[in-house]
Amino acid sequence: MIHAKDKGLVKVAVQKKKKGWWLMPLMAVVLIYAAITFAAQSHELYILKLEIKQLEQKIAREEEEKRRLLEEKDEISSDESIEKIAREKLGMVKDGERVFLDTNN
């Protein structure tokens, strides 16, 4: 049997239960929203990391190309290289040098 004193406690418990009925659905909605947001952001983060990796690889290739071109520039700019190009491609000779032509061809 429920005493009057116990009826008051039951009534208070029922009233508290009725007051906070919206709290559980609200928490469920917030958790679902958080899970969806986390999944979307983790996918975006994965894509961004892939793009960063590709860009870092491109930077490395471009830096290697730059290094190669600088070496080639230094090589071509040397006096020996300039003289070789002048002799072979332009047919130039130094002052005082004799040029022999092969007339058999």
Q: Residue 39: inside a domain, yes or no? A: yes
Q: Residue 94: inside a domain, yes or no? A: no
Quick count: other Cβ atoms within 10 Å of Cβ 84? 12
Asked if 81 contacts 75 with a C-beta cutoff of 8 angstroms, the reply is: yes
| pLDDT score of 52 | 98
What is the average per-residue pLDDT within 71-95?
85
What is the average per-residue pLDDT within 36-55?
95
Give the range of the structural domain holding residue 49, as residue numbers without chain letter. 4-88
pTM: 0.49
How many separate domains does the chain show? 1
- Cα distance between residue 30 and residue 51, in whole Å: 31
Q: Residue 75: inside a domain, yes or no? A: yes
Residue 37 has pLDDT above 80, yes or no: yes
